[in-house]
Amino acid sequence: MAEEHKNHPAKENKPLEKMTVKDLKEIALTIPHEHTEVAVSDMKKDELVAFIKKARGITGDLPAKKQKAQPKTELTKQEIKKKISELREEKKSVQDKSRADILRRRINRLKKLSRKSA
């Protein structure tokens, strides 16, 4: 039963970048090669993927890396502090506990943002 799991055909259909290092090493060991600078067992995931792609003759660009989300609007420190004071006033007048919690979280986020902006 363990051998059936090892030879599972879905592993071969999976993209190389999404495979585990263990699976990539198994594939790399089946590829005939001369001594490389680094042994297959010592390779890292990126090196294994490149080695397998080179052996299989796969060429292609790497997928674009995700960029970090940019803040929607950049507020100045004064604008942030003004917004905090407005939210504090609103929080004082609110009777609903859930609404007060929402305002408290917004205030905390803005305070963190004001510390980050110089």
Task: Enter the tokens of residue 103.
Answer: 């305002």
Q: Which range is least confidently modeled, 3-12, 20-29, 53-62, 79-88? A: 3-12
| pLDDT at 78 exceeding the cut of 70 | yes
Give the phi and the psi of residue 32 in degrees, each rounded to 5. Answer: -70, 130
What integer pLDDT is reported at residue 45 of this predicted model? 87
| pLDDT at 36 exceeding the cut of 60 | no
Give me the mean pLDDT over the 11-16 stretch: 73
Task: Report the C-alpha gap between 63 and 49 in whole angstroms.
Answer: 13
Alpha helices, DSSP H only, in the chain? 2-6, 10-13, 21-30, 45-56, 77-93, 97-116
CA angle 63, 68, 69 (to 5 degrees): 125
Give me the mean pLDDT over the 73-102 stretch: 91
pLDDT in tens, 43-67: 888 888 888 888 888 776 555 556 6
